[in-house]
């Protein structure tokens, strides 16, 4: 099932980039929980909660993109190194950064998304501490 989990997560990033909310909804459990730990420990419930957490994160940018640069199979979880490119509103400054997301899956759906600032935090969350 792990390879299927990785592929499901990969498709969710493609759907997000394409603005395909229907595909995101189809890949997510109705009770999806999204937690962004930095900077404010925001939590969202359901696909609408995910979209709100994402909107809050991107609201300070005129341009924003995120790509899944590395996907790591961790059984019922998939750890993803995401690369963010954004242009600040007002300043016009380009900002690039990597973050680490942990997707938890069950019954072929995403049930939880935890957004971490560092690889160490993400790996610790799934028991892959180095």
Residue 130 has pLDDT above 70, yes or no: no
Residue 40 has pLDDT above 90, yes or no: no
Domain ranges of the chain: 2-125
Which region, left, alpha or beta, applies to residue 87 given φ > 0 means left and ψ of -120 to 50 means alpha? beta
Residue 38, classed as helix, strand or coil, is coil
| Sheet hosting strand 61-74, strand order edge to edge | 42-45, 28-36, 109-116, 94-106, 77-88, 61-74
The per-residue pLDDT for range 71-120, each reduced to its tens digit, is 999 999 999 999 999 999 989 999 999 999 999 999 999 999 999 999 99
Average pLDDT over residues 42-47: 94
Is the domain spanning 2-125 CATH 3.10.180.10? The answer is no
Cis? peptide before 24, omega within 30° of 0: no
What is the pLDDT, as a whole number, of residue 69? 94
Helix ranges (H only) for the chain are: 2-18, 21-27, 46-58, 119-126
């Amino acid at each position: 099932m792990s390879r299927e989990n990785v592929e499901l997560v990969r498709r969710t990033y493609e759907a997000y980039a394409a603005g395909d909310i229907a595909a995101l909804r189809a890949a997510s459990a109705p009770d999806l929980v999204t937690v962004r730990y930095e900077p404010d420990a925001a939590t969202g419930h359901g696909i609408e909660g995910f979209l709100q957490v994402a909107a809050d994160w991107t609201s300070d940018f005129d341009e924003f993109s995120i790509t899944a640069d590395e996907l790591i199979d961790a059984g019922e979880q998939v750890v993803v190194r995401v690369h963010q490119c954004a242009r600040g509103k007002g300043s016009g400054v380009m900002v690039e950064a990597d973050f680490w997301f942990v997707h938890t899956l069950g019954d072929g759906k995403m049930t939880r998304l935890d957004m971490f600032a560092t690889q160490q935090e993400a790996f610790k969350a799934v028991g892959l501490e180095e």
